[in-house]
Amino acid sequence: MKLLYGTTNPAKLSAMARVLAGLGVEVLGLKDMEGQLPVPKETGSTLLENARLKARAYYERYRMPVFSCDSGLYLEGLPDELQPGLHVRSPKGEYLTDRGMLEYYGGLARQYGDIRARYRNAVCLILDEDHVYESMDESLASAPFWITSTPHPQRREGFPLDSLSKDIRTGQYYYDQGRESVDELVGDEGFAEFFRRALKIPPDRVKGAVCQTHNRFLNLYEFQVVNRLGRESSYFVATRNGRREDLKAFSHGSRPDGVIIYAVHGEKKDRLVLVRQFRYPINDYIYEFPAGLVEPGEDMYQAGVREIYEETGLCFVPKKADPAYSRPFYTTVGMTDECCGTVYGYCSGEPTNRHQEDSEDIQIVLADREECRRILREENVAIMCAYMLMHFVHEEEGDPLGFLEG
């Protein structure tokens, strides 16, 4: 994917290209674009407003995914009239060159002693008219650092204050501590996380997976993982998938493994179809909605019709719902990559257990609101079922599926 970065500063472009390279994103700069460049007016009162103004101007001109940033410098202990804030390059109203910035901020450090400072950053990303992402989160800010009076001999065009910057923890110039240390002044990790979320790019922390079992419906994998601090360990995951390439950690897909059926029964639409099923993990019965696995070649609506017939003998007519209510969601994600979609609809007929498998121990329950309240108070209930029962008992009248119309 290509993103346009709203800057002509080669140092800023290089720094951001380095941040986004690990996400598979190619970064273009304004100098890569043809025609006359727009000159957005940075009239915002905050960093985020300025970032937004710039991003919008470049998006309107080039009609491609674009982002712009704005930075502010804040100096601890200095009076308000000396705070540069948004105006890092023009703290006194006059634009400063790289050399001018070294002289000005170095002079402040000579006057006040080493100054504890911090950059705040804002970013606005416009993918299209319907997908605009913004942040001025603390994670985008730099680590606190010292501005000192004597510049380091190393220079980087476009980032003059890096030469005046020292690590508070060590007292050393950042340039003497290597590239990774200098990156602390940019907030690299915060920007990478912002783009990862906006572009829906998952972090790659699962480095391997070994299947420990070979069962039909459920298997155990041992993952080799790396945590956010770079430490390696093992993590065990239960999955409905038998092939490594189908694991969500690698496919990042969201095909539903199973389907849950939220079914209303009766002409008055005043009862829900529940099952009271024996489950070996708790060695007891538990109340659930009818549910089951989506078989190859089925969509989740077809699976819902089949499963509720097999478990209850009832005829089920699904009701189409907005994906916000029906798309697959993960279940117990701390231990499994299983995700299930929810199918809503209406049931008719008389319940029977004659279609159930021998391995199933299922009792069919048509529960009105009073019975649902009792179940919530007294019985074992699956959490996904419990949330919907709470919704059902709260709405004293009307169609329980009425919320799908909103």
Distance, CA of 175 to CA of 350 (rounded, Å): 77
Distance, CA of 14 to CA of 205 (rounded, Å): 25
DSSP state at residue 38: P
- C-alpha closest to that of 345 among 386, 306, 309, 304: 304
Q: Residue 95 carries which side chain, given as an amino acid letter?
A: Y
Residue 216 burial (C-beta neighbours within 10 Å; 0-12, 13-18, 19+): exposed
- C-alpha closest to that of 306 among 352, 269, 241, 259: 259
Q: Are 337 and 256 a contacting pair, CB within 8 Å?
A: no
Candidate list 32, 70, 167, 183, residue with the active-site label: 70
Residue 44 burial (C-beta neighbours within 10 Å; 0-12, 13-18, 19+): middle
Distance, CA of 166 to CA of 16 (rounded, Å): 22
Distance, CA of 312 to CA of 301 (rounded, Å): 16
DSSP state at residue 244: G
Tell me the two tokens of residue 233. 């360990």
Q: Residue 393 carries which side chain, given as an amino acid letter?
A: V
32 is catalytic: no
Phi, psi of 24 (to 5 degrees): 75, 25
- Residues comprising the chain, all counted: 406
Beta carbons within 10 angstroms of residue 125's beta carbon: 22
Q: Are 185 and 145 a contacting pair, CB within 8 Å?
A: yes
Residues recognised as catalytic: 70
